[in-house]
Structure 1
């Protein structure tokens, strides 16, 4: 089971999906495209704990989504 963690102003939301379920996989990919299209940065953690930016959906990765930073 893979997880997409979405960080926003309310904290974080977790979306779990089974990579072998076509419907769940399609929802996860749509979520990836929607969030990155809205300016969220998608990243995965390396085994050492560092973040690695990702630009394409990987159904086997646990992904973190960070909102665009806004200055002011």
Structure 2
């Protein structure tokens, strides 16, 4: 199972999906496109646990973190 973690002001929301299930994979890709289109930055963890910013949906990523654009006050 892969996880997409969406950070927001209330904490985080986790969405898990099976990358072998075509319907779940399509929904995860749609979520990726919606979030990045809304200004969220996506980062996936590498094999060493280091995060890397990604611009395209990676169905092989075990965990993708989405964080909103920082806004000054």
TM-score range, shorter chain: over 0.9
Deviation sequence 1:32-55 (CA, Å, 0-9, x none): 000000000000122333220000
Structure 1 residue runs of 4+, over 2 Å off?
46-50
Structure-2 separation of matches of 1:48 and 1:24: 26
Structure 1 portions without partners, runs of 5+ = none
- In the alignment, the residues of structure 2 paired with residue 57 and residue 26 of structure 1 have an alpha-carbon distance, to the nearest angstrom, of 10
Which residue is 1:19 aligned to? Answer: 19
Gaps of 5+ in 2: none
**RMSD in angstroms over aligned alpha carbons?**
0.9
CA drift of 1:60 comes to 1.2
Structure 2 distance, partners of 1:2, 1:67, is 20
| TM-score normalised by the chain length of structure 1 | 0.94
How many residues end up aligned between the 2 structures? Answer: 72
